[in-house]
Structure 1
Amino acid sequence: MDSILIPLLILIAVIGGVLLLLRSFSKRSAETRAGIAAANAPKDPVQLARESAAKLNEEQHRRLYSLIAQGQGMQAIKLYLQATGEGLRASRDAVGALAAHPQPFTPESPAQNLIPDDDDEPERFPYRYRAIVSKGDVTREVSSNMLNDEIYGRIRTLAKSGDIEGAALALTRHSDINIKQAREFIELLDD
């Protein structure tokens, strides 16, 4: 009896291990199939049209819609492909979305590129920079070692161009103040 018990336990352990491996592989293949299905799912055509229009400059946008209006779909696809460098299928889908959902040309605001949108931490300088603004009896000060003349100049430019929220977000990113304090500071920059 003892001679059969040990091989039987080993056999049960091997079967259990094989079943666990099979279960693990089937889960992975199901996740892979779900990921492929999600990647191949059709995009919202309106969103695709917006994204596609944003990739074109004003001249390309005008020429593309001219070709679409003339019924020259192949030429429009060729133009989009050359302008963006995307693949043939992506260009076809983009031109189809643009034809079905016309998008006006929206020039990129110069203020949008003044403060880079990096995810990494802002540079810390070996000195503390002090920015002081005042209007009447109200005075606000920001002191930070993540600010310098160049960054503060960009923040001022954003504020003067009317992008108060962008300027406030940039100021909070480069200092230790909260968004409310940054908005109060930026409001005083208007003059």
Structure 2
Amino acid sequence: MESLLIPVLILVIVAAGVTLAARALSRRAVGAGPSAKVQAPRQPAELARAASAKLTEEEHRKLYSLIAQGQAMAAIKLYYEASGEGLRASRDAVSALAAHPQTYRAPSLEPQETDDDDAPQHFPYRYRAIASKGDVTREVSSNMLNDEIYGRIRTLARAGDAEAAASALTRHSDISMKQAREFIALLDD
């Protein structure tokens, strides 16, 4: 029994020393003063968007492949090497990317935020809207239209606000107001 007393005392002293050192370091990090660089913790979705923006298309594909295969350590290593961030930041970023999947967006194609919800926006595809009544058929093709915008235009037309619908259609396409009115008249039933 006496032979175990000395090693147990040494173990208790070492544990107390480590605990005190850890507390001192954490107090120093927290109380570093106003000149210290302190970042507020980000929301996971925001962190995922920011992390995704730091990756190339190939790195993005490989990272999500590793996440899908359950290879978290390899994914963290890939992000660490690709982004140049620290290990803890890389771990947090990969966690956020796994929890909030992001599609790859080329840096030049990122949408610009606008305050106007109805402002025209260019899409990478052309949208075709077709309206017909009897023998008359009209088509509008534009890369500023999508299902949501066309749905709003149809709703305005069916509610009887043909001018607002025509105005919205001219804003989101390259047709004249006269052509927009003709198109809207075919929608108005």
- Shorter-chain TM-score: which interval? 0.3 to 0.5
**Structure with higher helix content:** 1
Tell me the TM-score normalized by structure 1: 0.39
